[in-house]
Amino acid sequence: MTIPALDVVVPDRVRRLAGGARLTPVWENGIGGLTFRTDDGRYIKWGPHDLEANMRDEAERMRWAARWLRVPEVIDQGQDAAHEWLVTAAIDAESAVAPRWAAEPEVAVRAIGTGLRMLHDTLPVTECPWEWSVAGRLERAAARGIRLPEALRTPPPIDLLVVCHGDACAPNTLIDAHGAVAGHVDLAALGTGDRWADIAVAAMSTTWNYGAGWEDALVEAYGVPPDRERMTYYRDLWNAT
């Protein structure tokens, strides 16, 4: 995922959704999906259909999570034969990988860790209608034609069952002007699972966005001792699926 060039071609659908608002491209994912910010306080996410995580699921999960947690308000969501889109209200904050926070990794990593702990402590497991279990992830990977190593078929026992973010990489935490967590985005895979499924991925993502040496700092900010066995397993599962 990268920040696109300012002269990126704006899809017709995005122009129609924007109305007369000015568009600024802010994100491009690995399958050609684009996210734009409008000058009237919205984000428009558009892209091809994704077998892993679709925007219909994301909208549904955000509406559910918003009862307990700060996430973007869903304004519109739709799809056609080739593409899907999602329109949300902007939160007054920046991604943890925005240039300011990329230059202040200690602040960013602390916000990601504390924000992930807040998400896990706040969202109610008993009321969550979705799962992000190992069994479910293995089944969905097989349906996409992914053949997994045998070692990944025997996960470690669950440490603590929580409502997982499902994509706890650094860009999906929002940070306010004071360096505190302000919200979470990209919740299409949200569901119940072991908390280490999120912690491991969040820690791993610090190496992609801030360089080496920040993984244990994130776990410390979350508030638990590192569990090397579970971190290794869930990193390997993430990379394989």
Q: Of the listed 57, 167, 198, 227, which one is catalytic?
A: 167
Domain(s) labelled CATH 3.30.200.20 in the chain stretch across 12-89
What pLDDT, on a 0 to 100 scale, did the predictor assign at position 30? 79
Cross-sheet strand order for the sheet of 83-89? 23-28, 34-38, 42-48, 83-89, 74-79
Q: Is position 54 annotated in a ligand binding site?
A: no
167 among known catalytic residues? yes
What pLDDT, on a 0 to 100 scale, did the predictor assign at position 50? 82
Structure letter (DSSP) for residue 81? S
CA angle, 207 then 174 then 217, to 5°: 35
Nearest to 140 by CA among 120, 119, 166, 116: 166
Q: Is position 29 annotated in a ligand binding site?
A: no
What pLDDT, on a 0 to 100 scale, did the predictor assign at position 201? 98
Mean pLDDT, each 10-residue run in order, the chain (241 residues): 69 95 90 92 94 90 98 96 96 94 97 98 98 95 90 95 97 96 96 98 97 97 98 97 89
Taking the C-alpha atoms of residue 4 and residue 14, their distance in angstroms, rounded to an integer, is: 15
Question: In whole angstroms, how far apart are CA 196 and each of 76, 128, 168, 223?
Answer: 32, 18, 11, 12
Q: Are 201 and 227 in contact (CB under 8 A)?
A: no
- Per-residue model confidence as pLDDT tens digits over 197-211: 999 999 999 999 999
What pLDDT, on a 0 to 100 scale, did the predictor assign at position 4? 56
Domain(s) labelled CATH 3.90.1200.10 in the chain stretch across 94-240
What pLDDT, on a 0 to 100 scale, did the predictor assign at position 111? 98
What pLDDT, on a 0 to 100 scale, did the predictor assign at position 3? 62
> Considering the domain 94-240 in this protein, what is its CATH number?
3.90.1200.10
- Residue in the structure block whose two tokens are 């985005």: 185
> Considering the domain 12-89 in this protein, what is its CATH number?
3.30.200.20
What pLDDT, on a 0 to 100 scale, did the predictor assign at position 218? 98
